[in-house]
Amino acid sequence: MIRNLWYAVLESKEIPKNKPVGFMRLGERMVFWRDDAGEAHCCFDKCAHRGASLALGDLVDGHARCPFHGLEYDGSGRCVRIPANGRDAPVPPAFRMRSYPVFEGWGWVFIWWGDGEPDPAEPPYFEDLKGFTRWGSVQDPWNNHYTRVAENQIDVAHLPFVHHNTIGRGNKTLVEGPGVEWVSDRLFFQYVYNKVDDGSKPRGPNEVPVPDPSRDYKIEFLMPNLWENRISEKLRVSAAFVPVDDEHTLLYLRFYPGFMPFPPLAWLIGKIGSRMNLVIAHQDRRVVNTQLPKSDGTGTGENLFRGDKPIMEFRKKRQELRKALG
């Protein structure tokens, strides 16, 4: 994983108001909780005293309290009370847990997994998804590095084989394109024109039409771990590839039924759409879980072909970010 980036790691609904909760994210045991104002906090889940998990504790005045000896921590990771030393006793500065800045928006919880102050101050997000307020979501565990799962979503050549009886029907095995356009330093959209192999030479990336990203169908990827499929103006699918550790990922899938103005029906359609997404994801997972190595595929001797251009661009950008950010 690359440090000094904003990662989507949870949905907001996963952090309750009345207790701390623990999750493995980015190869670390993390604890999340909300203070009395409802603001979310995240720390490396290891009490500075004897290393116990605060996720098994409770909340006191907005502070996370360790279940072992009752030490209390504020949102910055600083211990504010050691009961054994007395109510008003000063706390030595060494009693501190590593904390991560948190940003909540669009139903996601992001953490700045890095050093110092976040840069940028807020995580980037898909502009055309910010207006959606209703969606259905599901979670799906994969036994791969998050980049393996992400690369599957930008792979344009697997559809007629992995999804031959769902979204890949029609035996369109010939890949025309694919094109990749970088919108910003962290965001690209891709396009492809697959067709039945009629013996003709496939057109390359510079020979196929470039869609209008504000109007046409498109797939976007936002580094490091967010993806959007713009099916139409009022119908979207998005995903977050949440790193658990180097060989495990939790895939979050969302279905946005913007065409339905009635909340109860929108909720129902969102749920149904999310379940359909899960069926398709399981077709992918069956194959992707067999890839070796399970870790990041960059530099492992894979032989890529022209149709893998989105994957090549993704890997190139990750290498640039790793070099620039550490």
DSSP string, 166-234: TTTTT---EEEEEEEEESSSSEEEEEEEEE---SPPPP-TTTSPPP-TTTS-EEEEETTTEEEEEEETT
* Domains defined for the chain, CATH in brackets: 5-113 (2.102.10.10), 130-325 (3.90.380.10)
Instruction: Report the greatest alpha carbon distance in the chain.
Output: 82
Identify the pLDDT of residue 295.
Answer: 85
φ and ψ at 254, to 5 degrees?
Answer: -125, 145
Identify the pLDDT of residue 184.
Answer: 95
CA 220 to the chain's CA centroid: 13
**In tens digits, what is the pLDDT along the chain, a chain of 326 residues?**
999 999 999 999 999 999 999 999 999 999 999 999 999 999 999 999 999 999 999 999 999 999 999 999 999 999 999 999 999 999 999 999 999 999 999 999 999 999 989 999 999 999 989 989 899 999 999 999 999 999 999 999 999 999 999 999 999 999 999 999 999 999 999 999 999 999 999 999 999 999 887 777 889 999 999 999 999 888 999 999 999 999 999 999 999 998 888 888 888 998 899 999 999 999 999 999 999 998 888 888 899 999 999 999 999 999 999 999 97
With residue 30 as reference, give the H or E element that holds it: strand 28-34
Identify the pLDDT of residue 305.
Answer: 96
**Is the C-alpha dihedral spanning 154, 316, 110, 105 positive or negative?**
negative
For 108-124, letters b (16+ CB in 10 Å) and e give: bbbbbbbeeebeeeebe
> In 3D, which of 89, 87, 55, 49 has the Cα closest to residue 69?
49
Classify residue 273 as exposed, middle or buried by CB count within 10 Å of its CB (0-12, 13-18, 19+). Answer: buried
CA atoms within 13 A on the CB side of 157: 15
> In 3D, which of 279, 251, 255 has the Cα closest to residue 267?
255
CB distance 136 to 271 below 8 Å: yes
Identify the pLDDT of residue 285.
Answer: 98
> In 3D, which of 258, 251, 285, 294 has the Cα closest to residue 273?
258
CB distance 306 to 192 below 8 Å: no
CB distance 72 to 89 below 8 Å: no
Q: Determine the Cα–Cα distance for residues 239 and 79; give it in Å rounded to an integer.
A: 36
CA distances from 172 to 192, 198, 203, 216, 285 (A): 12, 10, 14, 20, 21
| pTM for this model (two decimals) | 0.95
CA distances from 79 to 9, 177, 244 (A): 25, 56, 27
Q: What is the DSSP string of 66-131?
A: -TTT--EE-TTSBEEE-GGG-TTPPPPTT-B--EE-EEEETTEEEEEESSSS-SSSS----GGGTT
> In 3D, which of 179, 159, 180, 154 has the Cα closest to residue 171?
159
